[in-house]
Amino acid sequence: MNRLYTKVLLALLGLFLSVPVAHAQVQRFKPKVMLGAIGGINLSNVIFVPSIPQTMKRGFDSGLVFRADLDDYFGIWGIWVEVDYSRRGWKDRIDDKPDVYYEREMNYIQVPVLTHYSTDAGPFRFTVGVGPQFGYFMGDKKITNIDAGNAEGLIIIHHNKEVEQKFAWGLGGGLGAEYEWRKMVFGAKVTYYQGLGDFFNNARSETFGKSAEQIFSGKAYVLFVF
């Protein structure tokens, strides 16, 4: 009988001790909210239909970041929202007249809204982000030395065409790495954005059936954990 009581007591003691451990495991992850700054360079061009020969145009992005880490299912899942000022555009490739140039510098306010994943809760981790991106056209600048004397033989139909659709949208994503130190996170990532809308009207009667941006970016960021 005493042996039975001993077994029961040991079983109850084991159950009692296991409850805090299980509770601690459930409560191990605490959501985090972060705010910070981000900036970097980009390389962009435009997918025109009919096509226009181009080289990549260099620009920059800079802005603010809001991030929330919400769950830890096989890594850390959350959301990433940026509000950036972005300078990008395109640059014509004019092979037969190397001294002649034309490029369009376009300025946007852009807002990527991404699902954010990091590999674990340790101080060093790899990151993945993917989601939609929205933007609004703020203005542009034409940089060229083309005039009546050197324009012969060039494709210039798009040079004086103004942006007709100011709202931009598309899909983006990227890979990166970061390090958390105390209440700060330092990171870097490379991203790609494909515009799904056109900034020139694309009706059959228009010049271009497609005028969508594609942008490659390299960015660094610092976040403060709250």
Domain ranges of the chain: 1-30, 31-225
Separation between Cα atoms, residue 168 and residue 170, nearest integer Å: 7
Predicted TM-score of the model (pTM): 0.84
Strands 210-225 and 184-195: antiparallel
Token digits for 135? 């933007």
Residue 20: predicted pLDDT: 44
Residue 1: predicted pLDDT: 52
Residue 187: predicted pLDDT: 99
Separation between Cα atoms, residue 190 and residue 176, nearest integer Å: 6
Token digits for 81? 């929202």
Query: Of the CATH numbers 1.20.1250.20, 2.40.160.20, 3.40.50.740, 1.10.3720.10, which one belongs to the domain with range 31-225?
Result: 2.40.160.20
Query: Which of 27, 26, 134, 131 has its CA nearest to residue 79?
Result: 131
Measure CA 38 to chain center. Answer: 11
Residue 23: predicted pLDDT: 43
Token digits for 37? 């700054």
5 DSSP assignment: H
pLDDT tens, the chain, 226 aa long:
556 545 654 554 454 455 444 444 455 778 999 999 999 999 999 999 999 999 999 999 999 999 999 999 899 999 999 999 999 999 999 999 999 999 999 999 999 999 999 998 789 999 999 999 999 999 999 999 999 889 999 999 999 999 999 999 999 999 999 999 999 999 999 999 999 999 999 999 999 999 999 999 999 999 999 9
Residue 22: predicted pLDDT: 42
Listed in sequence order, the DSSP H helices in 163-219 are none
In angstroms, the Cα distances linking 130 to 17, 37, 68, 175 are: 42, 19, 15, 9
Separation between Cα atoms, residue 160 and residue 111, nearest integer Å: 28
* 118, 125 contact by CB (below 8 A): yes
* 61, 74 contact by CB (below 8 A): no
